[in-house]
Amino acid sequence: MNDTDASAWIFAYGSLMWNPGFAYLEERPALLRGYHRAFCIFSHVYRGSEKKPGLVLGLDRGGACRGRAFRVLRAREAEVLAYLDGRERVTGVYRRRRLMVRVPEGRAPAHAYVADPTHDQYAGRVTPEAAARLIAECAGSAGTNREYFEATLAHLETLGISDDGLRRIRARLETHASQAQRE
């Protein structure tokens, strides 16, 4: 791509898609191979606490992930990465990696935040039932885990990105809510 000398890309797959928090030149649909979107991170800050951890998205190994790529000026890259490191690496559960993504014009290197499987907040594979329970019951400094889940799923659907794993969790969330109302 011709613009890579003057710009850098940031890959977004969760809340960064609907709340990037930084100025960007443009955003494009992007595909990352080798990682998939998963509720695989225990949240001790934003959507839960150490005593009652929530569950948030991470890029976990294997598969592929459709998301968005944000292009930023190369001159602002360090500033944007400092902001994102402060936001995404607050407890060190995410590693910033430079990975190749496919955007409509071709392949481009992009910064992405991937789950660190050696970190104690890495949840690994979580069943839809367990994920729904945590998402329904937890909250942190940025709000409820349910708000995060719903905003992410709604944004994915608006972009035409289907995520069967999130839909399975939503079905369990609805069952969980129905059971809670009956009790």
Q: Catalytic residues, which ones?
A: 88
Measured from the Cβ of residue 57, the count of other Cβ atoms closer than 10 Å reads 23
C-alpha angle with apex 24: 153 to 150, nearest 5 degrees?
A: 10
36 neighbors 137 (Cβ within 8 angstroms): no
Token code pair at residue 136: 């329904």
CB-CB contact of 175 with 168 (8 Å): no
Contact 24, 84 (CB under 8 A): no
Closest CA to 165 of 135, 141, 144, 120: 135
* 134/120 Cα distance (integer angstroms): 17
Angle subtended by helix axes 145-158 and 128-137, to nearest 10: 120
